[in-house]
Amino acid sequence: MSLKLFDLSGKRALVTGSGQGIGLSLAEGLGRAGARVVINGRDEAKLARAAEQLSAQGIAVEQSAFDVTDPKAVVEAVDAIEKDHGPIDILVNNAGIQRRAPLEEFEVDTWREVMRTNLDSVFFVGQAVARHMIKRGRGKIINIGSLMSAAARYSVAPYTAAKGGVRNLTFGMCTDWARHGLQINAVGPGYFATPLNQALVENPDFDRWLKARTPAGRWGRVEELQGAVIFLASPGSDFVNGQILYVDGGVLATL
């Protein structure tokens, strides 16, 4: 019985920004738990390579290339998935970018790019999928926040603002949609060795600082996020709503 609580067999999961890095790992984890996964990104060639990698592991995978920052394209793509493939039972809003600069030098266009990708997309895709979930009276939405949803670091203030918005939007989605049978939660990753963080991984000073600052003493591995997302996507979390689960090796727990 306990294992059935985390069984995703027969479910379809859309994971945005899943051509590489954390998104691809989350798609893999959901697939291994039994879900059919729909991977998303703008680069069709990258998606095809990711789909091949998942298929080689025996994971049922579909591809949907669309721009999560374009609300019209989002609605069209979500409606097409629902019509052509079947209901989206699980949504993971993972798409994100990072841009670094001192805040006083940050370009307005770059600020807007960070907001569109990291925050607006969560609203666009979340709303489009929720409209279908509400009709069915069930659904799981998992927004990928960040350690920066609760803290800040030099040169990434816009990212921090966007991820703080993801946390609060998660609260708002829960407040509006829990009554319809949906569970909406977030995961807040700490520092993981991903393409998004490559500049930090390759910086010896930052690498030393991070390992000293993190109680676990190391960078996270992307596969270590899979369990949290599987839990929030599964029947095991049916009364968990409006929460953000930090997976950070203990960074937020200590000064």
Cα(30)–Cα(90) distance, integer angstroms: 10
| Interatomic CA distance for residues 25 and 9, integer angstroms | 18
Give the 3-state secondary structure of residue 186. strand
Cβ-Cβ contacts under 8 Å for 162 (sequence gap 6 or more): 114, 115, 118, 119
Sign of CA dihedral 145, 86, 222, 21: negative
DSSP 219: P
Quickly tell me which residue has 């800040």 as its tokens.
Answer: 152
Q: Which of 154, 159, 191, 246 is catalytic?
A: 159
How far apart are alpha carbons 232 and 190 in whole angstroms?
18
Q: Output the CA–CA distances (angstroms, integers) from residue 33 to 28, 150, 159, in the order listed.
A: 9, 30, 31
Is residue 154 part of the annotated active site? The answer reads no
Active site residues: 159
